[in-house]
Structure 1
Amino acid sequence: MAMRGDAGVAVPARPDPARPAILELFFDLAFVFVLIALSEKLLSELTWVGAWQTLILLLAFSLLWALTAWAGDVVDLSEPLIGPQIVVVMAGSLLLASAVVDAYGNSGLLFAIVYVTTSLTKGVYYLLIVPNPALKLRVRRILFWQAAAAAPWILGGLLAGTTRGVLWAAAVAVEYTGVVLGWPTPWSWCRLPSAAEVVGERIAERYRQFIIVALGVSIFLTGRSFSLSGFTTDQAWALAVVFTITVMIWRIYIYRAGDQLTSVIATSANPARLREIIAFVHLIMVAGILCTAVTSQLVIERPFGDTPTSWAAVIHGGPGLFLIGRVLLDYTLFGRVDLVRLSGLLLLAGLAPAAPLLPPVMAALVVMVILIAVATGNLVGDRIRPPTPAP
């Protein structure tokens, strides 16, 4: 997510910013465990309350990832003093993920303390070791909002039940308000473009990496579920269906917009604003992939039998969320709504009420057919009318 600058102050881009550093890709590995933990949290409480709680935690983790990724825009990650800080955030992320499943239970205070400590110490560390005064000004702006969110995080950890949920939702709302408004503070209310040079190749690689991590989690959970099954014919068919769904999600993401992300950002008239929007759009798609990972486990575990309403919601809702994000990404990059993907989204929504009438694997099969149709329709349609980047 983009950073905003202070008037009259510029931060030089880090050396060779075109591609993510190896350290950043190593950092992303921690989020494999994070997304696995979030899927287990949702799977353990497949209700509207459980979905809301998982969403709050996903938003918190996503902001932690984004702000760490931002460091690669403005500092040289090859510097000896920078690497250890990224590794510490990585360790904090692993500890947070360990507490996810019981975050709204006995591990709530632990989660809150580790999250706040990881967020604040990262900024304080940069204040102490980075000599650039402009960078320090921007770090102070972020710390102002993170400190404001710290109180509801910790207070929510001390309390329980609905109160914790409300306080943590308020904390996340405070942090994301800072992102949307450009981290204003009482001493600096200005909104300026990104502090660092926007490099399309690097940004595209970071977002694609996040999607690949999420898809990797879905594949891992699919394989793990099948390995723990009875290896029956029914479960083998279920494996084929849910794996095909994951493949189609990958194909729909990467075709055109996912593949052209680099060039579109690089040629945009307002690349800083564009990458802000793209960050939120990718968050929607990751949430959809997370739900799809839960679908894989449910369908493989019990391919036939009744399909509870909660199962139907996640079977159709996961790919639906992904398509919402994908349609928004297409509109952001090319300035038009892709009618094929929109039609697929409407089909998923329209057929969702009938899903409880089908066995789980058949409900997933309907989703698979819709996604195959969307992928095929995109391939045919874009050959007829290739998309052009939005100005």
Structure 2
Amino acid sequence: MQSTSVPARREVTPLELFFDLVYVFAIGQLSHQLLAHPTWTGAVQTLVLYLAVYAVWAYTTWAVTLVPAEDPRTRRMLLAVMLVGLFMNAAIPRAFGDAGWVFVVTFLLIHLGRTVWLLRVGLDRREQEHWRRVLVWFFVAAPFWLTGAAADGGARLVWWAAAVLVELAGTLSAHPLPGRRLDSRQVTFAGGHLLERGRLFMIIAFGEAVLTTGAALTAAPYEPMTLLTAGVALTGTVALFWLFFSRSEHIVRHYERTEAPYGRGAAASTASWPPSPE
């Protein structure tokens, strides 16, 4: 197999942004889930679903830093994940109801399938070792997901929360296995590309928030309260945009100076700062 090597800086392709639309759709679905269940239990349910969906997006985005989107194999993988992900995200509002199996089966199909795909595309020895360990951690979490899908009510939430915690622990600890460690500074990783993907995704997400506010304003009667709430919503979106992008510039500068781009890229993709080196 041919070894894959990628530069630290690559242009984000239209296909990658097209792929992101399915996960911007997921943000709206998560919002509907929380609005339909405005309780502490509903908030925890939404958090668990968010972490699962975010993991799908982040690991798929990470995969594209290793095998560029210009590669036909990567294009096919992205389109497949996009298609399956659409069904997964559509199931979000009913994931704790009658669509639990739809959510879990599509989630595991993406997570496990994409990782197996990465192990077959010609990564170098160190990267293959890392992704084998990632696959082991995903398999450890899978029984929790499946048991939760077979359970009802609060039991499903407990099992799925345990699955999310297992996967999150693996991500934050760099997927260790007994007696097997890697030095992350020696692993090829296009962290700059991952950072740019995250920034562009947020632009799309903020744009969706503006469109939603505008659509709601169009359909509502023009009364003082309508104008006030629309103004507050738009002001909040602008404030979040400013806060995110002022911080993201700092992260980009830090990445350009760091001696461990792999670890810093992982930090950016999981919003942790910083993870432990492998």
How far residue 39 of structure 1 moved from its aligned partner, in angstroms, is 0.7
Aligned counterparts, 1:255-294, within 5 A = 255=246, 257-281=247-271
Aligned equivalent of 2:24: 32
Residue 230 (structure 2) pairs with residue 235 (structure 1): no
Q: What runs of 5+ residues in structure 1 fail to find an aligned partner? A: 1-10, 283-327, 333-391
User: Which digits, 9 at most, give the CA deviation of each residue in 1:134-171, with x for residues without a partner?
Assistant: 24333322111111111111111111111100000111
**Does the Cα contact within 8 Å between 2:191 and 2:265 map onto a contact in 1?**
no
Aligned counterparts, 1:60-75, within 5 A = 60-75=52-67
Aligned counterparts, 1:295-310, within 5 A = none
How far residue 199 of structure 1 moved from its aligned partner, in angstroms, is 4.5
Q: What runs of 5+ residues in structure 2 fail to find an aligned partner? A: none
The one of 199, 203, 217 equivalent to 2:208 is: 217
The one of 100, 103, 116 equivalent to 1:108 is: 100
User: Which digits, 9 at most, give the CA deviation of each residue in 1:225-246, with x for residues without a partner?
Assistant: 2233223332022211211111
Structure 1 residues 183, 158: CA separation in 2 closer, same or farther (over 3 Å shift)?
same
How far residue 178 of structure 1 moved from its aligned partner, in angstroms, is 1.2
Structure 1 residues 123, 269: CA separation in 2 closer, same or farther (over 3 Å shift)?
closer
User: Which digits, 9 at most, give the CA deviation of each residue in 1:29-82, with x for residues without a partner?
Assistant: 111111110111111111111111000011011111111111122113212122
Residue 240 (structure 2) pairs with residue 252 (structure 1): no
Aligned equivalent of 1:138: 130
Aligned equivalent of 1:121: 113
Output the CA distance in 2 between the equivalents of 1:247 and 1:97: 26
**Does the Cα contact within 8 Å between 1:12 and 1:197 map onto a contact in 2?**
no
Output the CA distance in 2 between the equivalents of 1:193 and 1:229: 53
Higher gyration radius (CA): 1
**Does the Cα contact within 8 Å between 2:94 and 2:100 map onto a contact in 1?**
yes
Aligned equivalent of 2:158: 166
Aligned equivalent of 1:184: 176
User: Which digits, 9 at most, give the CA deviation of each residue in 1:327-349, with x for residues without a partner?
Assistant: x8xxx8xxxxxxxxxxxxxxxxx
TM-score by length of 2: 0.88
Aligned equivalent of 2:198: 207
Q: Aligned AA for 1:234?
A: M
Q: Which secondary structure does the structure 2 equivalent of 1:19 belong to? A: coil
Output the CA distance in 1 between the equivalents of 2:4 and 2:81: 24
Q: Aligned AA for 1:271?
A: P
Aligned equivalent of 2:70: 78
Quick check: 242-251 or 98-107, which moved more?
242-251
Q: Aligned AA for 2:223?
A: T
Kindly report structure 1 stretches of 4+ aligned residues shifted beyond 4 Å.
none
Q: Aligned AA for 1:113?
A: V
**Does the Cα contact within 8 Å between 2:30 and 2:92 map onto a contact in 1?**
yes
**Does the Cα contact within 8 Å between 1:14 and 1:72 map onto a contact in 2?**
no
Aligned equivalent of 1:23: 15
**Percentage identity across paired residues of the two chains:** 29
Output the CA distance in 1 between the equivalents of 2:98 and 2:159: 16
User: Which digits, 9 at most, give the CA deviation of each residue in 1:280-302, with x for residues without a partner?
Assistant: 338xxxxxxxxxxxxxxxxxxxx
Output the CA distance in 2 between the equivalents of 1:225 and 1:131: 49
**Does the Cα contact within 8 Å between 1:17 and 1:73 map onto a contact in 2?**
no
Output the CA distance in 2 between the equivalents of 1:254 and 1:75: 27
Output the CA distance in 1 between the equivalents of 2:105 and 2:122: 28
Q: Which secondary structure does the structure 2 equivalent of 1:29 belong to? A: helix
**Does the Cα contact within 8 Å between 2:64 and 2:74 map onto a contact in 1?**
no
